[in-house]
Structure 1
């Protein structure tokens, strides 16, 4: 026999193992679903809980758990209340005959009083605790009177008040916790009050096991320690110690001899939660340590041995608990990793739904834009059709009654058609009378040549008016299409930003904390949202710094060295009191900054100028400089120019592209009023990352760039804004700026101010070249003074000069060199 190839056997074995694992997982899920159906849907869990609560005692003879549990089930799931009552009666029967009688009578008395007075109250949940209080009070005093056969004592009254008060409180607790164990499809997250209520319910249930033992091991001790172990392993030290304290407190009330158990459970919950990073082994070690320490309070070694055995059984139950069950419980408890994952999944679903909805709206605007664009493409066909209508009207008034109609239109259609078209074309061009050649041809071809020429001349006015109207409609449609397309792009980009999830940077956060901690700077919390080069975004929370600028002077330079780029403080919120916290946001600094200076003067030295200017820093790392010159002078011109810049700022901040923004403003200004009030716009968009710039000039004068001894001229030819009846195309001029460049923009009043100058360009270039300063404000003031002085001190028009200087962004504080380590490359 030859050897079998192992490479063939191993894949087959792996497939069989995987198939077995899948089948086993399906079988476990099937069993789990059947058990859940049996216990939750069929009410077996209510019967078991009722049985244990029915025999649970407080102070050896008080039973405050039975009626609150029955009332809660009756209010929440009325159809399951008989099952809960049967469980309570069965548990009370294990105590004594008077106990089952007391439980039955209290339940019946509660039902009678509640049903008889139900029509007088609306909020069942709020008033049910009061019914429970008075029912327990009456039932307790009645049974004490019957059992004693004599007058009641003060002791009986006090004990009745205590039991009724406990029942009152337990009713509110059970109303919050019963739905957690009876309703199968409940909400995922639990409030802190609900978690505590659930713990109290579980501890109350376990008091029903007091007195039970297996192999001389106390069942209540094993179950209570298992409960503490389970919650400390799932939720950590806070919840684990809380479970221990609450469970131990309930046990100590049920049995005074179990008071020391509260210390053991609380201490084990604390240690187990602190050691939860070691998984189940860590939680188990925490319980063993607490058991050894607290077991030393016993009188003999037997007590320690028994306690260790009980803790060992609880640890065994923890290891037998399936991972699926612990994960399912963890998803309901705030603060756990599973809970955070569920919350993140929910937020991710909400984000995806929102992004999809925004994308759908973007598609709608895209479709509307395409629809308007298709209408625009059919304009030429409509123009030809309009010419056919024109000829129809002419022939109806001239050729319809002519005896040569058939000869002209049936036999010589092309010649007649072209001849009439030539006549219309010459009239349209203003040739009245017609050219001699065309006049002879018309006279030779048509017997009614005078009437034909007069009719064409008259109908031409209506034809031109219709064409002009349709052209305006076509331009409006094109403008609407561009605006819809711009909105579609903005919404599409917004949808992409929504879908950008915060990346997981836990490792980098720890590395940055460790690096900064080496300098003795305390950081309480750090959140990294982005580490992309040029787009870093980090939030930090630190103790009160006393307003000394610790973030700007120390942490930002450290981050600059760690991340390998210039980091600055974008936002800082310092506490107003010494024990508060400071919240600082660090972001990447822009590679370039823009310093601006402006100088302006109104016509005749007035106070109100028709020019307006604005410097706008946009959130996408762009800087906009704009000048608008309203038509004329005075308040009306100032209003028009200022309104243009206001609209421009709002639209640019929304993210719409510059050309679409300007066309939108043009349509708004032109449709807002019937007056022929226009305004110019000179816009420069500067990218602060690479200093590239885009110039959009609408009816404005040239701009100049001073780069050392060179003077560059930037110009474009566009009509002023507000002229909707004309074709409105925005010419964009791109220029690459450099550090040290001066960008000089001005209105027509400043550019054309010197009246004795024949060539404004050469004169302005010479004045700019002669400048001996590069300060933007000084340059603006000097140029304004030169223009006014060259005009003999007269200001004949509104003048505005805006100067921008491009500079490298030099950090205020140099980077602090950190220790070179292997982790630095990972962070950067």
Structure 2
């Protein structure tokens, strides 16, 4: 029974123990929060700091800290100024009655003068140091005057100037550091001057402990070394040695006997920072080494063991310091890992916010596109019926209103009259010269005034057609806006996805590439890796101008990167600053798997200068290459303008990232709405993906294209009307998988339909292309043009354009350079 009772009680005890730990943790957290509010928000920390600064000395009798500290607290945290005053006076009282009198007089005179002269200055931080300077000058000179038997001694005047100058500088320093003693202070990155100001303030506070001992150990030495340990452990050798020098300097000014501490603290900060990779043990080891060296060769008046014990006490304080405190301080100092992580987190947050906003805009444009493109079919039918009723009402108002058969037609035989008027309207609206014989006979039989009714319908039809044309343009405009908004929405959605792709850290890879290239004998200054994805490598390298004077980047660096990364890397961009100290900024990127070489030949009708055909080769940013031909209706400048405008609009829209189908529909809508003239243009477009050589042919009213693969000729065609004829049409896309060496031959109708006395243009063109022995695109274009013109006996009866594109594997100009064996093992990590 006892065992059973114990076994039942044990789980309850464990649960109770867990709940107790949670309660203790919550209690400690609440106590920490209350303590933080009490010390910082209520200002008790200012009381303690004021006490230490009130008794801090320089050169054994100067006290320049009291008034600057009070003035800074009075300006920045006025509600806590009484606590600071109490602390300063209490600290001064520990020195002497004369010192508390001097500090009290400085503060009172400062307050009185500041209040009396408030109308002559603004309450800002610019005038405050000058108030402190003149207050300290006046009070110090006055005290020296009465202490010297009512006469000015040059030495006392000099000391007054020195103390006033120190007070002026300390005011500026305290103005920088007091805001950190507030819960409302936003945590931000410390600037260099703010770090130095914080160090000076901490060292000044520590100097207030001069003369205090604990078990024979100097408190000021323990805290000064602890201060150096903290900063060297967090920030490294540079900041650690700076803290040591500044702290030792302030201690040496406070007491000449402490001058030896400057070398000890500076050396400890340097060694601790160099050994910070070993965390707290490394910083502690640096202090111990510095203590032993300084103790053996430094001040002989201080026993080595006492100095060693003081360092051990500082090390103990370092190990007792919570990790939370050191991490929070690390986030404020540039160069630390925590600071870098904080910056990365901030950038990641900004990236997510930006991507979210872009996605929201994309959704807005998508919603607007749907709003513009949706139509209520039932409401549209009702609207057309109302339009017809309004049309017939205008006709009957001019004809039937005064007719004696009005009641018979529109009351007795309403449906028959209504349908008869509709039939007359539809026949006249078809563009016929007159009514059909059957409808004329029906109208004569039914109506008393048939000619008058016909004339009224004809007249009203003119206004009706103009109104319908205007409504059609409005409808077309809505469709254009809807397509454009949808395209913009898709582009913004893709852009949001690109923003989400976070740049990876490639520090190790950068070091490995740096080491590999330098081991080859090339001097480089910096390597920045932005992407190491297959077929999407993006690397920037800075090297001296002398290292690239003979094209070493293209001939050596790019081939080495190709071997290291296992990808075809080429020089994408190169910017060099000449001169002995010049630098070259070179961008290396992955070469595309395929390259396109083009050739073109064109001629205007009758050998003129202006052709109605236009062609363009467009290198799009997404690793695609586009070739386009546009044939404007007719010949001459107007046709040239239309075809050129078609390609210009298409190029701009495609470069923005909008899908090619949407781009062609947008161009069609723009051209059809821009003018009322019947000016049309064809479009022959092929877009080649340079990574997999897939070609998408989009043909709008254009002639067929041909693909030549060795002796095989393939025809590519699609059935679409020219741009500008129809507002709504579907773009047929024909996809073909190309191979290296394939030739794409595109031509306008002047070439395809140009040969004279040829019944089958397809067969003739295939035969001519098959007979070509050259694979040079420019020569093929010239030869085809020449063949067509020869069939016409040298006459050019229409604008003629031929564009030939050859797809080939993109082989590097320089072969890859295999690296040495020791680095080849690292290659897998990089790729």
TM-score w.r.t. the length of structure 2 is 0.90
Deviation at 1:636, TM superposition (A): 4.6
Q: Distance in 2 between matches of 1:507 and 1:426?
A: 81
Among residues 601, 606, 614, which one is paired with 1:612 in the alignment?
Answer: 614
Deviation at 1:767, TM superposition (A): 2.8
Q: Which residue of 1 is the match for residue 623 of structure 2?
A: 621
Deviation at 1:485, TM superposition (A): 0.8
Deviation at 1:437, TM superposition (A): 5.8
Q: Distance in 1 between matches of 2:43 and 2:194?
A: 21
Q: Which residue of 2 is the match for residue 49 of structure 1?
A: 49
Q: 1:706 touches 1:743 (CA, 8 Å); kept in 2?
A: yes
- Name the SS for the 1:124 alignment partner: coil
Q: Which residue of 2 is the match for residue 206 of structure 1?
A: 206
When residues 609 and 259 of structure 1 are mapped into structure 2, their CA distance, relative to the original with a 3 A threshold, is farther
Deviates more, 1:684-693 or 1:610-619: 610-619
Deviates more, 1:153-162 or 1:217-226: 153-162
Q: Distance in 2 between matches of 1:313 and 1:41?
A: 31
Q: 2:522 touches 2:547 (CA, 8 Å); kept in 1?
A: no
Task: Say whether residues 1:35 and 2:38 are aligned partners.
Answer: no
Q: Which residue of 2 is the match for residue 597 of structure 1?
A: 599
Deviation at 1:681, TM superposition (A): 3.0
Among residues 816, 826, 830, which one is paired with 1:827 in the alignment?
Answer: 830
When residues 300 and 157 of structure 1 are mapped into structure 2, their CA distance, relative to the original with a 3 A threshold, is closer
TM-score w.r.t. the length of structure 1 is 0.90
Q: Distance in 1 between matches of 2:752 and 2:374?
A: 43
- Name the SS for the 1:546 alignment partner: helix
When residues 474 and 522 of structure 1 are mapped into structure 2, their CA distance, relative to the original with a 3 A threshold, is same
Q: 1:575 touches 1:581 (CA, 8 Å); kept in 2?
A: yes
Deviates more, 1:418-427 or 1:565-574: 418-427
Deviation at 1:135, TM superposition (A): 2.0
Deviation at 1:474, TM superposition (A): 2.3
Task: Say whether residues 1:661 and 2:663 are aligned partners.
Answer: yes
Deviation at 1:207, TM superposition (A): 0.9
- Name the SS for the 2:335 alignment partner: coil
When residues 825 and 137 of structure 1 are mapped into structure 2, their CA distance, relative to the original with a 3 A threshold, is same
Q: Distance in 2 between matches of 1:758 and 1:555?
A: 58
Among residues 553, 556, 564, which one is paired with 2:555 in the alignment?
Answer: 553
When residues 196 and 550 of structure 1 are mapped into structure 2, their CA distance, relative to the original with a 3 A threshold, is farther
Task: Say whether residues 1:155 and 2:155 are aligned partners.
Answer: yes
Q: Which residue of 2 is the match for residue 165 of structure 1?
A: 165
Q: 1:611 touches 1:638 (CA, 8 Å); kept in 2?
A: yes
When residues 303 and 521 of structure 1 are mapped into structure 2, their CA distance, relative to the original with a 3 A threshold, is farther
Task: Say whether residues 1:142 and 2:145 are aligned partners.
Answer: no
Q: Distance in 2 between matches of 1:391 and 1:579?
A: 88
Q: C-alpha offsets along residues 392-445 of structure 1, whole Å, 9 cap, x if unaligned? A: 556777778889989988898777666655555444445666556666666777
Task: Say whether residues 1:799 and 2:800 are aligned partners.
Answer: yes
Among residues 566, 575, 579, which one is paired with 2:568 in the alignment?
Answer: 566
Q: Which residue of 2 is the match for residue 644 of structure 1?
A: 646
Report the aligned-residue RMSD: 3.5
Q: 1:702 touches 1:714 (CA, 8 Å); kept in 2?
A: yes
Q: Which residue of 2 is the match for residue 251 of structure 1?
A: 251
Q: C-alpha offsets along residues 670-692 of structure 1, whole Å, 9 cap, x if unaligned? A: 44455554444332211111111
Task: Say whether residues 1:188 and 2:188 are aligned partners.
Answer: yes
When residues 467 and 239 of structure 1 are mapped into structure 2, their CA distance, relative to the original with a 3 A threshold, is same
Equivalent residues, number: 825
Among residues 680, 685, 706, which one is paired with 1:704 in the alignment?
Answer: 706
Q: 2:476 touches 2:669 (CA, 8 Å); kept in 1?
A: no
Q: C-alpha offsets along residues 443-478 of structure 1, whole Å, 9 cap, x if unaligned? A: 777787777666666655555554444333323222
Q: Distance in 1 between matches of 2:249 and 2:776?
A: 77
- Name the SS for the 1:99 alignment partner: helix
Q: Which residue of 2 is the match for residue 537 of structure 1?
A: 538
When residues 595 and 343 of structure 1 are mapped into structure 2, their CA distance, relative to the original with a 3 A threshold, is same
Q: Which residue of 2 is the match for residue 471 of structure 1?
A: 472
Equivalence map 1:269-284=2 (5 Å): 269-284=269-284
Deviation at 1:191, TM superposition (A): 1.0
Q: Distance in 2 between matches of 1:668 and 1:282?
A: 72
Q: 1:623 touches 1:686 (CA, 8 Å); kept in 2?
A: yes
Q: Distance in 2 between matches of 1:600 and 1:269?
A: 77
Q: Distance in 2 between matches of 1:790 and 1:14?
A: 103
Q: Distance in 1 between matches of 2:280 and 2:354?
A: 40
Q: Distance in 1 between matches of 2:555 and 2:219?
A: 62
When residues 448 and 797 of structure 1 are mapped into structure 2, their CA distance, relative to the original with a 3 A threshold, is closer
Which residues of structure 1 form unaligned runs of 5+? none
Which residues of structure 2 form unaligned runs of 5+? none
Task: Say whether residues 1:105 and 2:105 are aligned partners.
Answer: yes
- Name the SS for the 2:225 alignment partner: helix
Q: Distance in 1 between matches of 2:270 and 2:495?
A: 47
Deviates more, 1:150-159 or 1:687-696: 150-159
Task: Say whether residues 1:263 and 2:294 are aligned partners.
Answer: no
Q: Which residue of 2 is the match for residue 681 of structure 1?
A: 683
Q: 1:376 touches 1:478 (CA, 8 Å); kept in 2?
A: no
When residues 182 and 455 of structure 1 are mapped into structure 2, their CA distance, relative to the original with a 3 A threshold, is closer
Q: Which residue of 2 is the match for residue 233 of structure 1?
A: 233
Q: Which residue of 1 is the match for residue 130 of structure 2?
A: 130
Q: 1:593 touches 1:808 (CA, 8 Å); kept in 2?
A: yes
